[in-house]
A and B are shown apart, each in its own frame.
Chain A
Amino acid sequence: MNKEWPIWEIFIRSKNGLEHRHAGSLHAADAEMAIQNARDVYTRRQEGVSLWVVESKHITASNPEKNGELFEPAADKVYRHPTFYTLPDEIKHM
């Protein structure tokens, strides 16, 4: 029997209207405990208004060995960036 609690990834939304962002990970026996632990470990200084927890094993990561084919081809395609538009100053979080 594995005596270690599984690892959970914690996502926090810092305020309404923004997206949840990855904050870190922690140990917990189940989802309810993961929420409580996340509350105590990651939001004790008013970091958030909403929490998501996902058990780490459910996350599929890309293979670092494939970074070349996955990411490098994007490097020379500046036309994919919308940098040719001017944004009004009032628009935030773009």
Chain B
Amino acid sequence: MNKEQLYQYLLLLGDNSMILGQRLGELCGHGPELETDIALTNISLDLFGQVRNYFQYAAELQGEEKTEDDVAMLRYEHQYRNTLLVEQPNTDFAYVVARQFLFDVYHQLLLNELANSTDERINAIAKKSIKEVDYHVDFSSAWLTRLGDGTEVSHEKMQLAFNNTWRFAMELFQETDIERIAKESGVGADLNKMKTAYLSKVKATLAEANLSINLDEVQQFGGKQGRHTEYMGFILAEFQYMQRAYPQMKW
């Protein structure tokens, strides 16, 4: 894997966590309960912490005195490699839970794979992040089950949110050229291998939550190629505002 390919692979790893972290950050002060509000922003901060590790590495690969902020803040929309799943809006708490659950289960499997990466940096980041993500999985699974198997209203809302979110899940496992090269060189994860484990975990949790899943749902793709949904521009407008308005600004 050459430098540019490794850089691109780090974007594929980091952008998902960063955009999801930004979505969760939007909930700060708007969570359904004070305690849930803090939990969601904690998860957001965990994700941003992990992203900093990936992007510090990415910036070093770029050289030219680039920093993690350049990597994170100063790309154009089509240069972001996150999946469509993580940019979906916080429509209501059930949507937040569905999106989080579908990502967390993937994320946990991914980090367990990356913990065997032949790249020392990626290997170390994965090992450090696993414990955080284990908790994310517990948190989102518990809420999925609680709402899905709760009252009639909570079940209905959770099922609706899941139905409208599920169509973005399979993009997580779509193997791009960069991900294939990363896998073959031992640096990256084998997405196909993870997919089987993913589906069985999702199905088991959904059964426990008394929710149904349509495995034949038409799936949506494009984020990894930089073709994003209409939400992405608005996320970036807010996310990049300070760096665009005041270039090189520091806290």
Interface residues, chain A, CB within 8 Å of chain B?
5, 26-29, 32-33, 36-37, 39-41, 44
Contacts and interface: CB of A to CB of B under 8 A. Distances in A.
What's the dominant secondary structure at chain B's contact region? Answer: helix
Contacts of B65: none
Contacts of A41: 35, 38
Contacts of A29: 146
8 contacts: A27-B33, A32-B142, A33-B146, A36-B39, A39-B135, A40-B39, A40-B42, A44-B38
B215 interface: no
Interface string B26-42: 00000001111011001
B38 A40 contact: yes
Nearest to A44: B42
B142 A27 contact: no
B35 A28 contact: yes
B57 interface: no
A27 B35 CA distance: 7
A36 B139 contact: yes
Given A29-B146, A32-B142, A37 B35 contact: yes
Nearest to B143: A33
B138 interface: yes
Please list the 5 inter-chain residue pairs (A to B) with the smallest Cβ-Cβ separation, ordered nearest first: A37-B35, A40-B39, A40-B38, A40-B42, A26-B35
Contacts of A26: 34-35
Contacts of B38: 37, 40-41, 44
B153 to A, nearest CB: 12
Contacts of B34: 26-27
